[in-house]
Structure 1
Amino acid sequence: MYKLEIKLDGKFVNNFSIGSIYDLVFIDLEFWPDYVNGKATQRIYGYTLTRILKTSKQQYIKVKFLEFKTEEEELIKEIIKDIDKLKDKTFIGFNIIGSDLITLRRRLKALSIYSPYNKLNIFDFRKNANFKGYKGLNGLFEYLEIKVNKKIDGRYFHENVKKVFLQKNGWIDILLTMFEYCLEDAAGYFKIVSNWHKKDSRITKDMITNELLGYSVPEEKLSLGSIQLEEEIKIELEEILTVEDTQSAQTQLITTLTVADLETLIVKIVQKVIQQELKKLK
């Protein structure tokens, strides 16, 4: 899998919610249609997760994409693990209830991945958009006077993921564009948190929705899962826990950056991928 983790310095101010900025987690899933016998199944290609770290006061951003379609189950398990570590916080996104969670639940069921987790705290920008009149995340950026220079939208993933899987001509540029897209959104999320009060009042607890992530499992499996989860929490006390993939083509970088360094970092990622592919050809 292709993976990127970075930390950004900045002045992060919570003009968004009554609670702490450290309790806000933005998450966004990317999808692609997998056609089998003429029927399309929406599958998960990657995800972005970002929040402010309490210890360093930096913005942590994680972006991960599949290298091969067969890695989807592993990716979903990592998403579930990340969500569970942060389950007491508030998850925020645009249409997160009507799109991300629905697709995630369907893939959990299709792949028989059980997630014995409690209800999650969710704030969905989609509900606010219905009242304020803006459309999509880009519309929210514009509504809050946040400048972005996005070249693509979510449809780009639907149309181009297969080219990355097959490594067709131009796939490196496609992968680069996908990383740029997700990183720009991630960098903009906490600008939303900073600018929110210009147009809207702060979010309160009664505006947070409780949503169930998974589906029921037999009681004995639930008990076993809970015990295993408790053991993991006792062992892993770091604020950020990363899973080291064993696949040879994985790209993983953990760096402290400024916003100006993002483009350079992505180029380095792509260069590393190219080097790996050249080695395979020798």
Structure 2
Amino acid sequence: MNAKVVLVTGASSGIGEATALELKKLGYTVYAAARRVDRMRSLAGAGVRVLAMDVTNDASMEAGIKDIISQSGRIDVLVNNAGYGSYGAVEDVPMSEARAQFEVNVFGAVRLTQLVLPHMRQQRSGTIVNITSMGGKIHTPLGAWYHGTKFALEGISDALRMEVASFGIDVVVVEPGGIKTEWAGIAADNLQKVSGLSAYASQASAVAKMMRTEANGSRQSPPELIAKTVAKAVTARRPKTRYAVGFGAKPLIFMRRLLSDRAFDGLMRTAAGMPKP
């Protein structure tokens, strides 16, 4: 009953699953949330408490937090990990999909934050970890909506950090680089569906090829690296405000700071195998 209580969203695979297992090993009471409970059987077998939760559904999120407080009496850590990558030319992506991307990647995270903050304020302690991406600091071709969500969550995290500091609450941003999950392959498939036959078809083909090559490459970092980084942040007396980890994260963020906008554009085009304009 004295164990600290954690909620991890997007826990059915990849970073979320690895984070739930890592924090469970450290002795936390871990609640793992995802839309499909059947994909979290291995977590349940490891002693993680699983919740059906849709971060685009307010009632679902409210019920989930109510269950956690009812069962455990507190919540100490929220790991906002649920998210996906919607790639495609700005001209091609339907506004319904653009809104859906923001609903999952931004508004779901912020709504859960709103729901846990009253409990953390009452405790005078807590940590909110927002999993953004190196894509919250850099840009890649045909990724406007995805990068928009990650840039937004970075800015929200900065403002929130100042708001809640006086209540003993920390806000931490984790910016993964290339991680070996199903994310890149799914994003590449969706990109070609959206822009593969449009005026941007040649760009879509090049970027999708790059994504698949990286997804199948040996240089991608394992999701366990992010899980250990989250564990480091939530156990630190004074965590860093940001952790850039995983393949390419630190070098690319550094290059974005160093290069002009057009120079970085050129770097990204070259990386994607796209011709100069």
Give the structure-1-normalised TM-score: 0.30
Give the structure-2-normalised TM-score: 0.30
Q: Which has more strand, going by share of residues?
A: 1
Higher relative contact order (CA 8 A, sep 6+): 1
Q: Which has more helix, going by share of residues?
A: 2
